[in-house]
């Protein structure tokens, strides 16, 4: 992926991994637009980064996505990179679920349907650019699930599969498809920011940017901390890694 000379939309850009990526790309001179539900969080980021833009966007709101994409393409005609980062993570007790399954449905709408719908809405515009890229943020938990967050893990596994199919269908075009596979990172997602076992956010993003800078044709961005999860099945250690992960996280 080209890391300079882009106009980049990052969903979930008001905090966590999205904000950290936005600030790194902004520092490199790219035009960055961050999107998210919380206007105050977006405003805080743009105030700290002169020239960065923001737009309020709810990935769960199906009806707003195509109008949002049309307005974005009109306001930023050079837009050529989409980073689908917005996501939510909630614990679920599958043995005592509410009748409405509100948490599970919100997770699916935000983490899976949101990226699929936004990609579909923006792809015609992206394909008009001389170069474009779509980066979908999955998780190490796409490959080895954390049992207390089953729907979150399932959506990330689906994002991994969707990214592979999208990449294949776009082969031979000017649009790249990348997958960013984070490990357990110190963000506010599931209170990871206060857990010393989580990978520091700045260290994670620095390693991501180093991979992008030195491996321009990379399709899966895996920092060292996530390789054990990503390769658990291929290495033949899936059961061991699954048990170890869930035992360790049960002590949170």
C-alpha span between 221 and 98 (Å, rounded)? 37
pLDDT in tens, 232-245: 999 999 999 999 99
Tell me how many domains the chain contains: 1
149 inside domain: yes
181 inside domain: yes
CB atoms within 10 A of CB 19: 25
**Helices 150-169 and 114-127, packing angle to 10 deg:** 20
210 inside domain: yes
> Hey, what's the torsion of the CAs at 180, 186, 189, 191, to 10 degrees?
160
Angle at Cα 9 formed by Cα 3 and Cα 10, nearest 5°?
90
183 inside domain: yes
Catalytic-labelled residue, pool 152, 162, 168, 238:
152
188 inside domain: yes
C-alpha span between 81 and 130 (Å, rounded)? 11
pLDDT in tens, 115-164: 999 999 999 999 999 999 999 999 999 999 999 999 999 999 999 999 99
The helices-and-strands tally (H runs, E runs) of the chain is: 10, 7
2 inside domain: no
CATH number for the domain spanning 175: value is 3.40.50.720
Sign of the C-alpha dihedral, residues 25, 3, 165, 76? positive
Range of the domain at 47: 7-249
1 inside domain: no
Among this protein's residues, is 168 annotated catalytic?
A: no
106 inside domain: yes
């Amino acid at each position: 992926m080209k890391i300079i000379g882009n106009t980049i939309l990052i969903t979930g850009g008001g905090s966590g991994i999205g904000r950290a990526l936005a600030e790194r790309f902004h520092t490199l001179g790219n035009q960055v637009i961050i999107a998210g539900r919380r206007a105050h969080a977006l405003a805080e980021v743009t105030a700290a980064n002169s020239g960065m833009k923001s737009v309020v966007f709810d990935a769960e709101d199906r009806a707003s996505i195509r109008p949002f994409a049309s307005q974005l393409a009109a306001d930023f005609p050079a837009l050529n990179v989409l980073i689908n980062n917005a996501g939510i993570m909630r614990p679920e007790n599958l043995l005592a679920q509410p009748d409405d399954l509100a948490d599970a449905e919100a997770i699916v709408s935000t983490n899976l349907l949101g990226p699929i719908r936004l990609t579909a809405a923006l792809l015609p515009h992206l394909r008009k650019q001389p170069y474009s890229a779509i980066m979908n943020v999955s998780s190490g938990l796409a490959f080895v699930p954390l049992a207390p967050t089953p729907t979150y893990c399932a959506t990330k596994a689906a994002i991994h599969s969707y990214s592979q199919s999208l990449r294949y269908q776009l082969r031979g075009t000017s649009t790249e498809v990348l997958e960013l596979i984070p490990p357990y990172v110190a963000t506010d997602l599931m209170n990871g920011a206060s857990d010393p076992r989580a990978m520091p956010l700045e260290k994670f993003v620095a390693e991501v940017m180093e991979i992008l800078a030195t491996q321009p044709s990379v399709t899966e961005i895996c920092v060292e901390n996530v390789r054990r999860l990503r390769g658990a099945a291929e290495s033949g250690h899936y059961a061991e890694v699954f048990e170890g992960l869930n035992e360790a996280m049960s002590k949170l």
